[in-house]
Amino acid sequence: MKTTLTLTLGLLAALASAQAIPAEMAPFAWSRGTLDLIASGDAARGAEIAQKEKCQKCHGDTGIAEDDESTNIAGQVPAYLFKQLVDYRSEVRESRDMKKAVRNLSLQEMADLSAHYAAQPPEAPAGGVEPPTMVTEGDEGRLLIGCNTCHGKNGQGLGFEVPALAGQKGAHFNETMNAFRDGDRANDRFGRMRFIASQLSGEEIAAVAAFYAAPPTEEAE
Ligand code: HEC
Ligand code: HEC
């Protein structure tokens, strides 16, 4: 009886410590340990790692990409950034560029990079566009709630896992929404974004993208 109890307690302790330090995290799991690890991210160390790993080549010096090929990551929600880096490493989210970029990173380094980019000022949206009703109200008929309900009143991101949308590159916004719709991006927990994107037309996606996005880098002819 006593042995069983000791064994049980030992097993519980082992489980608890396994949870405290997420080892590989594939598939990604939110846990107290994950949140603690993200909170331990050191922005100054992250800046050094970014330099060393040449993240600026594609994401600009402060996380604002110089062209529209890449994405903005400045001012992004840190836990979202961290989750994406883990997802690229486990290839739950596929990108040739990003798979290479995260190849040598430890989880602690990912947390440091996330703290660094989260601390950078985001790019401002182009502005001058009224929010589409899809952003503010959604569409009950299609079981859609407004994007703002999850992404924040000003698209600044919310909670620990919902990314900021305001100031994102329009090209990436459209591309990733289409990827959610076609199932090519499938790293959203519970399939929420896949469901939402599957309900929207190309025009609706373009309209919300135009509302949230930063101005295009190259002036349209
Ligand atoms: C060779 C170019 C390149 C390099 C170098 C690179 N990235 Fe990326 N990154 C990209 C591209 C392209 C995407 C968008 C891919 C996609 O659609 O999934 C991306 C996406 C991301 C995302 C997800 C953004 C979002 O909005 O979901 C994060 C976070 C990120 N990169 C961080 C980094 C960090 C940190 C480094 C350095 C360790 C880095 N990247 C190096 C090209 C690059
Ligand atoms: C139920 C909550 C919820 C609603 C409503 C919602 N989203 Fe999301 N969205 C999320 C979550 C969570 C993620 C992060 C997925 C992941 O982990 O990769 C996300 C990610 C995204 C991304 C990827 C950002 C990037 O940088 O790559 C875009 C774009 C996006 N949402 C657009 C929208 C739009 C447009 C709407 C409204 C039509 C919307 N979302 C409504 C929860 C929501």
Which atom from ligand 1 is nearest to the alpha carbon of 93? 18
Work out whether the CA dihedral 72, 166, 152, 178 comes out positive or negative: negative
Q: Residues near 103 by Cβ (< 8 Å), separated by ≥ 6?
A: 89
Ligand 1 mean position to 62 CA, how many Å? 13
CA 113 to ligand 2 center in whole angstroms = 22
> Ligand 1: residues within 6 Å at CB?
50, 53-55, 57-59, 70-71, 73, 81, 84-85, 93, 95, 97-98, 101, 113, 176
Distance CA 149, CA 156 (A): 11
Atom 18 of ligand 2, residue of closest alpha carbon: 188
- Nearest CA owner, ligand 1 atom 12: 70
pLDDT tens digits, the chain, 221 residues: what are they?
455 545 444 444 444 444 444 456 666 788 899 999 999 999 999 999 999 999 999 999 999 999 888 899 999 999 999 999 999 999 999 999 999 999 999 999 999 999 999 999 999 888 888 899 999 999 999 999 999 999 999 999 998 899 999 999 999 999 999 999 999 999 999 999 999 999 999 999 999 999 999 887 764 43
User: Which is nearest to 204 in space by CA: 144, 154, 163, 151?
Assistant: 144
- Cα(80)–Cα(114) distance, integer angstroms: 8
